[in-house]
Structure 1
Amino acid sequence: MVHEPNNWGRFGPDDQRGTLNLLTPAVVLAALGSATTGEVLSLAMPIRGATSSPAPTTVPHLPGRPLPQHFMSVDGGDYAAGARPIGEGLRVADDALVVTHHGTTTHMDALCHMWSGDELYNGHPAARVRSYGATRCGIEQVGGVVAKGVLFDVPRHLGLDHLPVDFRISAELLAEIATPGPGDVAVIRTGWPVVWERSREEYWSGQPGLSAEAGRWLAARDVAVVASDNAAIGGLNGSGLADESLADDLHLVLLHRHGVHLIEMLWLEELGRSGRTEFVFVAAPLRIEGGTGSPLTPLAIL
């Protein structure tokens, strides 16, 4: 039973898309007007190298999580004996990609990713989340996201390169920077990924992020998605966990109660340097039926 304000039932008893329902054709068309130069920026971290090499460990990730696995057949060193012949003098290299995205690469969380008690978002039974996938609120319900993106470049606003490790962004601070409207994608820059190049130990010492009140402030403004360059939207401590109580856990506040999808581990440095606050945000997760999330490459069209 959900006691605080929420979106359960708002879009119908069978709804599995949450505030993505706000992205009507009219809202999408209006969002396209946010592009003025046509420049396209990728907001994704790279998936780099095979697990047989040190390359995957050079991309920001949380410790203790399985890294993405990229195998190729061209050199015979991974999953096959060599490049596959397709005709005289012709050969082709194949790829196999295994991505465990939570905490290891840019990804979107589905509404079935986290819940409380026996119910998913909108009262769907949590028992529908099984080892073979979730039959309710899976990532395949998302489709494509085309919306107005609103950048909250918090460190730039404060005159910093990145936020301190224990910094929690307040609703008041977000309001100083911008006010998103219904159907917008709120993009939060903490600058924390730049710490990775300086010190992995510092990167793993915790992470700055949104406070619970800031998450509720965004939900009250009917954003379609909340996205950030950190690993959990909210902050993390040195153990890689949130310090907030379950009542204030941002995954429960946003995913479970309000049906707001989350995108984590973005790369926002070029977007921040562009000085743009508003832009067209485009993202499409893989149609993994019953998936709790998906890797994706979000785009900002300036």
Structure 2
Amino acid sequence: MASTQLRWKRQPEGSHWGEFGPDDQRGRMNLVDRAKVLQGVAEVREGVTFCLSLPLDYPGGQTMNVRRQPPRRFAVLRDGKSAGQQGFCWSYQSEDPDLTDVVNDDVVLMSLQYSTQWDSLAHVGSHFDADGDGKEEPVFYNGYRGGEDVIAGTEMQATEPWARYENPEARALSIAVLAEHGAQGRGVMIDLEHHIGRKRNAVGYDALMRILEADKIAVEPGDMVCLHTGFADTLLSMNKMPDLRVLHETGTGLDGHDKKLLNWITDVRLACLLADNPAVELVVPKPLTPSPIRGPRLPLHEHCLFKNGIHLGELWHLTPLARWLRAHRRSRFLLTAPPLRLPGAVGSPATPIATV
């Protein structure tokens, strides 16, 4: 039974906690309802599909993010042996010579947010005084608490730093909540690359409005908005050997420090923001000297995930779809993009599909 008791006394400025009830964990994806799914289906005219995922072994290595592990695959053991010890496949003839089956199984170990991904609402929170007692605590969307609803796991002995904490768990706001929703609706493409090119540029409100006007794009409540910058396409051309200098110059993204842009994101009531770059927003390098102004390193992440329940998607491969849509003078399509239904996880790989 849902509670009516708020878990906070204060909510952050510019936030919409409680918009969908005190226990809501879906955020603005609540706007992707049956009507929005039907709007997405109505955009299907050709029956052509586009895979919007990079191969999940991209970017390659850990050059782009030392904290995220590329996939490593292992063969499943049977009777203490791998399939590789018997060729490439298991043969049941070792059990019964009359059986004809040959079988393979494997295991993958990877960071869930290594490649094309979804961020859950448990991915980014903030230190905030939600209790109104003058003390900040780690808080997530809708007042869910770090250490209670989102826990780091149990510390253990490990040779690799990523394995230091075992069984972390988002008891609330996990990526499984989005998976259970289905993440299917009407996608809208905003083609930043066409207007700006592939160069480092922080796109603020004024520039974005000019692009929307030029391309006659209207973003409506519940739309799943995609931002094409060309970053993932450049990354794909590097064949798993990312060149950070080139990628840095390629890095167009939204200007998370533009208050007008952040207000537009919430006021237009879009459901989620999805981009082919690593963070949706343009990440500003950490200054050499501390800033006198206290605030987030990733202001758009804070605004979307923490304050307003707007899921983010990163490193989606949007270039083929964006070019097809432009060639056909369209911007809308059916987007089907469920993450893994993995309870407790704060992010997930994705293989989104656009149908036009």
Counterpart among 293, 305, 323 of residue 255 in structure 1:
305
- Indicate yes or no: 2:16 matched with 1:16: no
How many residues end up aligned between the 2 structures? 286
Counterpart Cα distance in 1 of 2:62 and 2:33: 35
Q: Deviations over 1:78-125 (max 9, x none)?
A: 8964432234443211121223132x2111011011101222100112
Give every structure 1 segment of 4 or more consecutive aligned residues whose post-TM-superposition deviation is greater than 6 Å: 76-80
* Structure 2 gap segments, 5+ residues each: 1-9, 94-98, 128-137, 154-166
SS at match of 2:225: strand
Counterpart Cα distance in 1 of 2:31 and 2:340: 21
Aligned twin of 2:341:
287
- The 5 Å alignment of 1:76-225 reads 81-82=85-86, 83-87=89-93, 88-102=99-113, 104-117=114-127, 118-127=138-147, 128-130=149-151, 131=153, 132=167, 133-142=169-178, 143=180, 144-158=182-196, 160=197, 162=198, 164-165=199-200, 167-176=201-210, 177=212, 178-196=217-235, 197=237, 200-205=243-248, 207-212=251-256, 213=258, 214-225=261-272
Normalization by structure 1: what TM-score?
A: 0.85
**Amino acid of the structure 2 residue aligned with 1:282:** T
Aligned CA-pair RMSD: 2.8
Q: Deviations over 1:223-267 (max 9, x none)?
A: 11100001111113567xxx9941861111000001001111000
1:216/1:253 contact within 8 Å kept = no
Counterpart Cα distance in 2 of 1:4 and 1:12: 18
* Structure 1 gap segments, 5+ residues each: 49-55
Q: 1:61 to 1:183 in 2, by over 3 A?
A: farther
- The 5 Å alignment of 1:207-246 reads 207-212=251-256, 213=258, 214-237=261-284, 245-246=295-296
How many Å apart are 1:19 and its aligned residue?
0.5
2:335/2:353 contact within 8 Å kept = yes
Counterpart Cα distance in 2 of 1:73 and 1:247: 41
Aligned twin of 2:157:
none
Counterpart Cα distance in 1 of 2:21 and 2:65: 40
- The 5 Å alignment of 1:55-66 reads 58=60, 62-64=64-66, 65-66=68-69
Counterpart Cα distance in 2 of 1:204 and 1:192: 7
Aligned twin of 1:266:
316
1:182/1:223 contact within 8 Å kept = yes
Q: 1:77 to 1:182 in 2, by over 3 A?
A: farther
Counterpart Cα distance in 2 of 1:77 and 1:238: 48
Normalization by structure 2: what TM-score?
A: 0.73
